[in-house]
Amino acid sequence: MSEPKDPPAGPRRGRRNATVALVLTLACASTTAFLTTREAPSASAPDTGKVSAVAEQRATNAFLRAPGSPVTVIAHRGASSAAPENTLVSDEVARRGGARWIENDVQPSRDGVPYVLHDTTVDRTTDGTGPIRGLTSRQLDRLDAGSWFAPVFTGVRVPTLAAQLDDLRLRGGNLVLEIKGSHSRDEVARIVKEVRDHGMAGRVLVQSFDPEALRHTRALAPELPLGLLRDTLDPDPVAVAAELGLSAYNPAVAQLTAHPEAVGKLHAAGVAVMAWTVDSADRWKTLEALGTDGIITNRPAELSGWNAAWAQGRQAGSTP
């Protein structure tokens, strides 16, 4: 989710094997029921010159948090604090922890197959080396993407986008799909095709730091809702949201706490706000009070538990 200058999401080697083994057992246990998923809305370009268009955007944008409801939990690269990031195991741990939304990063292999990987190289999170765009799908499929995190995860693979979409469709969940870095129109078209071919268009929000990737997505698949990632808040986030046809504007957490008025302005325009990447209860509380709609976190189980305590506290007249 974050740009390369951010620290890695999960812990390195040395996590206690007993704890990790417990997590893996939970993740790999058979499932008899799937989590209920919320269908993502279709994207439509807001027209700031027409009040009716803004009202329609607000009415149809399911990413806006309903009054009295908790913030949406979005698992950053899956449950990346408890399992190797951007893997199906990490997704399963997040799902079992209560996250209905998984955030990932997608990039193409040398032969054009979209893979789920954050870094531009495979060095940090696999036993291989080199840029992902320089490796073929056959080479990527052989990499071990788990042992860097802990020995018990040895043999976990780098998933293709197709494999992740299948997993979410069959086992439950929605996807906040980050197009990582600059992509050509043809590369975006391949991603869109995968989403459509797997019947997941109603359960995917496409986000990117790159506005051009979002423009390609909007032109190719106007039914897919869009989110813009930002390190720094735009001078006029509402105007940017209108120009790109955004369903969500997703800034770094520090930007929201520094400019809390932005949340209300975006909401008035029918645009949801999702903050990244937030792992502390103090900041969850601040973001909830600001009206933030979703929180991208490395600790989805903890945020789900915090949400439950928040709901109980609200009913009792106090909050966590």
Q: Is 253 helix (H, G, I), strand (E, B) or coil?
A: helix
Burial (CB count <10 Å: 0-12, 13-18, 19+), residue 172:
middle
Backbone angles phi, psi at 312, to 5 degrees: -65, -40
User: What does the alpha-carbon distance between residue 320 and residue 306 come to, in Å, rounded to a whole number?
Assistant: 7
Choose the catalytic residue: 118, 198, 216, 267: 118
User: What does the alpha-carbon distance between residue 102 and residue 297 come to, in Å, rounded to a whole number?
Assistant: 10
Closest CA to 82 of 29, 19, 167: 19
Annotation says 118 is catalytic: yes
Tokens encoding 117: 């990987």
Determine contact, residues 180/106, Cβ cutoff 8 Å: yes
Annotation says 183 is catalytic: no
User: What does the alpha-carbon distance between residue 91 and residue 27 come to, in Å, rounded to a whole number?
Assistant: 9
> Residue 1 CB: number of other CB atoms within 10 A?
25
Choose the catalytic residue: 76, 183, 198, 216: 76
- What residues are annotated to the active site? 76, 118
